[in-house]
Chains A and B, each alone.
Chain A
Amino acid sequence: MKQETYRILIATAAAFATSLVILFTLVLPAEFDIDPLGTGQALGIFGLSSTTETPTVFKEGKVYLSDSVEYVLQPFESVEYKYRMNSDSTLVYAWHASDSVTFDFHGEPDDGPEGFAESYSIGKGLAENGSFFAPFTGIHGWFWENRGADAVTVKLTTSGFYSATLEFRDGFVNERLLSY
């Protein structure tokens, strides 16, 4: 066999063999959750591309509750109303106001730093409806402020899985544990 031919055959065989090694040690474990040689586990790449699909049904151990509050806000008055929820718990909500209000739907994690809050929805408007999936354990709820010249009524209705409500108004916090 000519040396050139030999060289080409060697290179082709090396290419093929290397691709097999790459496929079986890396690609299959990382992309397809198949780990014939255990390399995926050893290298920590097993299941790299597994998709964790959001379940359609999410079952709850907690009692299902409904709650409704109504506030009259004078010009430049504000109120904050929150629910104590565990991570992954859900609630469905609807609020509407008689006139445009500034709002901030946000949450504060129990283990977060003092004063830390994550906002989910901020804006100015008359109403908002939706469903909420708590990203962490803590208190989650709304801040409303009336920046208009006339009194505004805000009404909130929710149902879902929470254990307490907290009202922040005029510098006071009023926590109400919900009995089952």
Chain B
Amino acid sequence: MKERLRNIRNRHHWWPLVLLGAGWFCVPLFANSYWTDVANFFGIYMLLGLSLNIIVGYAGMFNLGHAAFYAVGAYTTAIINTRFGIPLLVLMPIAALTAAGFAALITRPVLHLRGDYLCIVTIGFGEIVRIALINNPFGLTGGPNGVLGIDRPALFGFTFYQPGHFFYLIWVIVILVMFGMRRLENSRLGRAWNYVREDELAAEAMGIDATNMKLLAFILGAGLAGIAGTLYAGKMTVIAPESFGFWESVVMFAIVVLGGPGSIPGVVVGTFGMFVLPEIFRGFSSARMLVFGAAMMLMMIFRPQGLWPSQRVLRVRQAEGLESQGSAAGRPA
């Protein structure tokens, strides 16, 4: 098992990934509509996990209010669609831009906060957005009932309405985003985030505008969450504030932390653990929270780096091991 995992990790052995992907795309042919829908929400949560991973994993900022950006994307889509009848897939970039703009506006004043302080502020953002939606500002959001009668997404006259249809729509986007993330990780921007996360002061001294980089992380992360919001609105055709509560933010955060911050396969594993496993064990629903809590505690004790940590984190662990060996052997400076 370990051997096989290592093979997948190795960039030269990419074909197991392709096989796995091809196999995954056959799922709707065999699964019933219930499990296909589970796979659909698996995909939506993965998009949310990947988007939060930019903020938490790459840029290293705590964000426990990510559902706010998800909500802005979903509500932008829902409101414009139900009022003006603009098709959903056209609204997708608009939802992304709105969520990104919203993130830029509200996070810019608090970017200088660090760690837990930023975390508390983002919890506040999440709650403010949820409560604002319930209060039905300007009669736009429909209050606690939400927005009803959202169109199904359609492409070239084909309407996505069955779970199987959505499966392909969602997962094509997920795969594209994963490729994009991979490129982003190794880009100049990805490296800049890395520097800022590891040592903001040294990064500034080397000419990186840390504040700008953090803002960009929020903008990109929120934009992607907005896209997930459009998909959610199109899938459900009804959205309500309760779908964007604090618990959603916690789940997204746990997806990133459980899988290993900054790691794309980590998000896959984390989403599986946070969303698919509870679905599989739905029969034991009364004990679910108990098991969930225990699993979280065990994780933090035995695998604090995440289930599938990023290569960098692994490398540091190795490096730290070497370092302590080195000093134990009394190596001179």
Are A and B co-members of a single complex? Answer: no
